[in-house]
């Protein structure tokens, strides 16, 4: 055996008082791993979009350049990045132990996310009203589902923020609340990153 050495007087067989793992670090690693799986989910959706983004898959319906509006997408990008900034400022306030400031940052983040979603919902409903809904062609299916999947993630993030707005005044900044706030920050920034990919890949290249 490679490491076979005889025990000495100093050999320990047990480790009383061993602290074990750190809860926060375990939860953070776990959340990173969840985001890895979420990243793969979006990767598969982007791959599907790439495959279906051809005139043939548009099946006589509109192609990317006929439906995407990069200017509207620009305002969406500003809104989502603003939301991330507000949330980040909320975590700065949390670091200072400022509950009111944290809540304010979260409320601003929610408001900007709602603005973002309003643009998206308006875009999709307008398309559908013109008969270019997700059931029109393979291309539009990929477009709608990619945007909607991101929007659902945003909705879950908003729900999570509402829960935090209840928990912060109720529990203060205890270990679990702080852990949730930090994981939510990762989640929120990740959604913004995904949106930047959507904006570049769908809106800018498509236009």
Partner 1 sequence: MQLQVPGPWSLLLGRLTLDQIPYTNPILQVTFAVAALIGLVIVGAVLYYKKVGYLWREWLTTVDHKKIGVMYIIVGLVMLFRGFADGLLIRTQQVLANGPHAAGYIGATHGFLPPFHFDQVYSAHGTIMILFAATPILTGFQNIVVPLQIGARDMAFPYMNAVSLWLTTAAAVLVMISLFVGDFSQAGWVGLIPLTELPYSPGVGVDYWMWAIQISSVGTTLNAINMIVTIVDMRAPGMTWFRMPVFSWTTLSTNIIGLTAFPVLGVALALLGADRYLGTHFFTAGMGGNLMLYTNLFWIWGHPEVYFLILPTFGVLSEVIPAFSQKPLFGYVTMVAATFAIAGISWLVWLHHFFTMGAGPDINGFFSVATMLVGIPTGVKVFNWMFTLYRGRITYTVPMLWAMFGLFLLLVGGLTGMMLAIPAINYTVHDSVFVIAHFHCMVLMVVCAGFAGVTYWFPKLFGFKLNECWGKAFFWTFAVGTVTVFTAMFALGFEGETRRLDWTFNTAWKPMLVVEEVGMIIYVLSLALFAVMLVVSIRDRNKQKLAADPWETSRTLEWLTPTPIPFYNYAVTPQVNTRDELAWRRKYGMEHTKPDAYEDIHMPSNSGLPVILGALAGIWGFAMIWRIWWLAAISLLGVVLIVIIRSFDKNAGYHLQPAEIEAMERDLSIGAITAEQPDRSHHIITHAEAH
Regarding 3 and contact with partner 1 (CB under 8 A), the answer is yes
Stretch in the footprint of partner 1 (CB under 8 A) among 66-74, 100-108, 163-171, 188-196? 163-171
Regarding 11 and contact with partner 1 (CB under 8 A), the answer is yes
Binds partner 1 by CB under 8 A, chosen from 85, 91, 141, 193:
141
Q: How far apart are CA 75 and CA 202, in angstroms?
A: 15
Centre a 10 Å sphere on the Cβ of residue 114 and count the other Cβ atoms it contains. 14
Distances (CA, A) of 102 to 156, 161, 189: 19, 11, 17
Pattern of binders to partner 1 over 164-193, x per CB under 8 A? ---x---x--xxx---x-------------
> Is residue 140 within 8 Å of 62, Cβ to Cβ?
yes
- Write the CB contacts of 111 (distance below 8 Å, at least 6 apart in sequence): none
- DSSP label at 203? I
Distances (CA, A) of 99 to 60, 92, 107, 169, 186: 55, 11, 12, 7, 20
Closer of 54 and 122 to partner 1 (Cβ): 54
| 18-77 binders of partner 1 (CB under 8 A) | 18, 20-23, 25-27, 29-30, 33-34, 36-38, 40-41, 43-45, 47-48, 51-52, 56-59, 61
- DSSP label at 181? H
Binds partner 1 by CB under 8 A, chosen from 81, 103, 115, 134:
134
Residue from 206, 18, 185 nearest 88 by CA: 185
| 85-114 binders of partner 1 (CB under 8 A) | none
Regarding 9 and contact with partner 1 (CB under 8 A), the answer is no
Closer of 87 and 144 to partner 1 (Cβ): 144
Query: Token pair for residue 98?
Result: 């400022």
> Is residue 183 within 8 Å of 161, Cβ to Cβ?
no
Residues that bind partner 1 (CB under 8 A): 1-7, 11-18, 20-23, 25-27, 29-30, 33-34, 36-38, 40-41, 43-45, 47-48, 51-52, 56-59, 61, 134-139, 141-142, 144-145, 159, 163, 167, 171, 174-176, 180
């Amino acid at each position: 055996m490679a490491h076979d050495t005889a025990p000495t007087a100093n050999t320990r067989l047990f480790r009383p008082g061993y602290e074990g793992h750190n809860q926060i670090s375990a939860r953070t690693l776990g959340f990173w791993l969840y985001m890895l799986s979420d990243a793969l989910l979006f990767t598969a959706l982007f791959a599907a979009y790439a495959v279906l983004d051809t005139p043939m898959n548009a099946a006589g319906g509109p192609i990317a350049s006929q439906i995407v509006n990069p200017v509207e997408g620009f305002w969406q990008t500003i809104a989502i990045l603003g939301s991330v900034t507000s949330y980040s400022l909320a975590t700065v306030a949390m670091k200072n132990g400022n509950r009111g400031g944290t809540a304010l940052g979260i409320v601003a983040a929610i408001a900007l996310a709602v603005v973002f979603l309003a643009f998206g919902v308006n875009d999709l409903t307008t398309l559908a009203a013109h008969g270019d809904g997700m059931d029109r062609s393979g291309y539009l299916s990929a477009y709608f589902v990619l945007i909607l999947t991101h929007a659902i993630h945003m909705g879950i993030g908003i729900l999570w923020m509402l829960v935090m707005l209840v928990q912060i005044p109720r529990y203060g900044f205890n270990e679990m609340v702080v852990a949730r706030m930090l994981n939510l920050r990762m989640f929120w920034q990740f959604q913004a990153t995904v949106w930047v990919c959507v904006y570049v890949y769908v809106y800018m290249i498509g236009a």
